[in-house]
A = this chain, B = another copy of it.
Amino acid sequence: MSKTVTLTSYIPSGNPENKHFTIQETVQPTADDLETGDLLLQSMVMSADPYLRSGCKSEEKGGPIPRPMTGFVAGKVLASKLDGWVAGDLFSASLPFCDVQVLKGKDARGALLLKLTGKVEEKNISHGIGVMGMPGSTAYGGLLDVLRPEKDREANGKKPETIWVSGAAGAVGSVVGQIAKQVFGCTVVGSCGGPEKGQLCRDVFGFDHVVDYKTVSTADELVAKLKECVPEGIDMYFENVGGMHFEAAMKVLRPHGRVAVCGGIARYNEGERQAERFFPTDMIYSFQRVEGFMCLPWLSGQKGNFLDDMGRWIKELKVVPEETFFQGIEAWPMAFQALFTGKNVGKVVVRV
């Protein structure tokens, strides 16, 4: 039988819990079920990501229930009737969280099907949903093309630019900070919750400064913590969190500062969502910019050279992938919960 993670009740507010999900069993498809253009896929790893929270809120947000949870998986092709693909190929795609399934040829593009063969080793297949997948391409695109760290500053006698990354121990933030530090030479401030994550950011990721947001409760207190690290403020902010983080970032953002809006996990469990406090006129004389983005242009290869660049940076040890593993498809709901209770570091991966 195939197993599929299934949402069985809406979660209008609050943390996701086990009771909201079930593992549904269905007859397992085989190579005999394939038509021309189809692939039979074995999921080896499944992703749990904060962006999935929104679709759980209501029928309006994500459609009727029960329904399969859908997100990034990576694994192996069991059988192929699709040109260019053979059994044994490694893949990643956005699909139902199901262990064995058929991907119809017509759906391949919509599922963001990527071939990982030659890019990711099978033992590192989890990278296909992490540093070499959606979160990695989010970090890559957001930093290189949205924030755009200024190049050659030292050659021009300037100090490096400063970047603050929130959710710095997470799947996206950890990669943003490492690229900023190792590739662009930025001064990196990472914020995260608790001393263990802070130590990881400093010792493993090499960030210059760490702020534990759990030690403060207002934007002004967070500003004070940031100013202890970087008294002159920040040139870039990579936004994964929202709430007091966003307000504090705008208060310490320097002239020509940029904010890349990638997520706002602090608000994902809210029922009626709250607005951020924002002063657009503060951006006028300072030529500041706030810009939203998601990974698609870079993950699809439409922009940049994500897989090649990131693969090289990993080999050069400029980017160290960090992962938290959960075992078995039955553990997916727990893995998802961990994102909102701060129990993960790096990429949350469910090994099937």
Contacts and interface: CB of A to CB of B under 8 A. Distances in A.
Copies of this chain per assembly: 2
Contact of A290 (B239, B263, B280, B293): B280
A25 interface: no
B273 A261 contact: no
A243 to B, nearest CB: 10
A246 interface: yes
Most B C-beta atoms less than 10 A away, residue of A246, A277, A281, A290: A281
Given A283-B290, A292-B287, A275 B273 contact: no
Most B C-beta atoms less than 10 A away, residue of A276, A282, A287, A290: A290
Contacts of A286: 292
A242 B281 contact: yes
A169 B261 CA distance: 33
A155 interface: no
A67 interface: no
A253 B141 CA distance: 22
Interface in A281-306: 281-294
A284 B54 CA distance: 13
A79 interface: no
Interface residues of A, number: 30
Nearest to A289: B291
B276 A282 contact: no
Contacts of A267: 281
A264 interface: yes
Contact of A277 (B259, B264, B275, B287): B275
A262 interface: yes
A282 B239 CA distance: 13
Interface in A76-111: none
Contact of A275 (B261, B278, B291): B278
A261 B283 contact: yes
B281 A291 contact: no
A282 B273 CA distance: 11
A219 to B, nearest CB: 11
Most B C-beta atoms less than 10 A away, residue of A239, A242, A289: A289
B275 A279 contact: yes
Given A286-B292, A290-B290, A292-B287, A279 B280 contact: no
B292 A242 contact: no
Contact of A283 (B277, B283, B288, B291): B291
Closest 4 pairs between A and B when the two form their complex, measured CB to CB: A283-B292, A278-B278, A275-B277, A264-B281
28 contacts: A239-B280, A242-B280, A246-B280, A259-B280, A261-B283, A262-B284, A263-B281, A264-B280, A275-B278, A276-B280, A277-B278, A280-B290, A280-B292, A281-B292, A282-B292, A283-B290, A283-B291, A283-B292, A284-B294, A285-B294, A286-B292, A287-B291, A288-B292, A289-B290, A289-B291, A290-B290, A290-B291, A291-B291
